[in-house]
Each structure stands twice: as C-alpha cells, then as structure tokens.
Amino acid sequence: MASSKTASRIDAFSTYVGNTVAWLTLAMIAVTFIVVLLRYAFGIGAVWMQESVVWMHGAVFMLGAASTLQREEHVRVDIFYRNLSDIGQAWINVIGVLLFLMPFSLFLMYASYDYVAASWAIGEVSRDAGGLPYPLLPLIKSVLLLMPAMVALQGLSMLVIAIRRLRARHLPSAGTTRRNG
C-alpha cells in the first residue's frame, strides 16, 4: 500500500503540471487576439496559429485533469454527498476510484496505445495546408496517454487519503478531518 508520502508527492506533481499548463490559457488568448488582428488589420491568415490555439486548448484540459481532481474541482452531484459524514465521503471516494476512475483511466490508456503509436510510426502531419509541422501532431496525440496516466496517479493519491481517513475513524480526532484538496 502506498504511503501518505506517496500521496503528497503525487499531489505536488499534479499541481506543478496544472500550474504550468495554466499559462497556456493566457497564450491561447494572446494568440487568438493576434490571429484576429492579423486577419482584420492586415488581411493575413495564419492557419498554424489558429490551429495552435485548438491544440493548446486540448493540452490545457487534458493535462489539467489530474490537478483539477486534486483541487476537488471536478463537479459532483452533491445533493446527498455533501450531507454525508467524513467516513461516508471517504467510502464514496474509495468505491468511485476503484469502480469508475481506475477502469476509465487504464482502459483509455490501453485503447489509445496503438492509436498514438501509429501516429508516431507514420510521422503524421496536420491535414490543413500550413498547419503545424511534424512532430507536433503525434506529440499532441500522446496526451491521450498522459491524461489517463496522470488521472490514475491522482486517483491513487485520492485512494490513499480516503483509506487513511477510514482507518483513522476509531482514533480520537487527530487532524484527520482535513478534506482532500
């Protein structure tokens, strides 16, 4: 069983990636603004710039998924959840990680492997003329493996934290009530 040290290392890793990738949101805005400016002020179309905004967007939500999980910002239907005790919530998280999150992440990784490998193997390039050069497209497709890998890791951290909370239930309250995230 992974220790709580592992959990905090995973949390730190997800947070680091999330905070770094977050800068891309600013870049998306800057590039969109420049694209509009070039088009309307100078009549220049920049396909690769326009395309790059779409790819940055994909990278943002895929690579940010784990840190969003860590921050408890993936929305829950919480009509019942919010009224549960700490223990009840921990149980939901244990079951949810094992039954939903892990199968999803592992299956997506398994299913995407050939898809991503094929893209690297054939040296895939953008369909649009003037689009992004090789190897950016295979690189972006690789996010299909990175996202589930990071989400699975963050799920592991969530599991460790929830189990620690369940184990601590018989002990006198010892700072175990802090919520994940």
CA distances from 34 to 31, 49, 94, 144, 157 (A): 5, 9, 46, 29, 40
Residue from the set 2, 44, 87, 95 that interacts with another protein by CB under 8 A: 95
- Binding-site size for another protein (CB under 8 A) equals 61
Query: Would you call 61 helix, strand, or coil by DSSP?
Result: helix
64 is a site residue for another protein (CB under 8 A):
yes
Which positions from 110 to 149 touch another protein by CB under 8 A, shown as an x/- string?
-xx--xx-----------------------xx-xx-----
65 is a site residue for another protein (CB under 8 A):
yes
CB atoms within 10 A of CB 61: 12
What does the angle CA 158 – CA 159 – CA 161 come to, to the nearest 5 degrees? 65
Among the listed residues 91, 27, 79, 15, the one whose alpha carbon sits nearest the alpha carbon of residue 53: 27
67 is a site residue for another protein (CB under 8 A):
yes
Q: How far is the CB of 78 from another protein (least distance, A)?
A: 5
Among the listed residues 118, 111, 113, the one whose alpha carbon sits nearest the alpha carbon of residue 137: 118
Residue from the set 41, 75, 122, 174 that interacts with another protein by CB under 8 A: 75
CB atoms within 10 A of CB 19: 11
Residues in touch with another protein (CB under 8 A):
18-19, 21-23, 25-26, 28-33, 35-36, 40, 53-55, 57-58, 60-62, 64-65, 67-69, 71, 73-82, 84, 89, 92-93, 95-96, 99-101, 103-104, 107-108, 111-112, 115-116, 140-141, 143-144
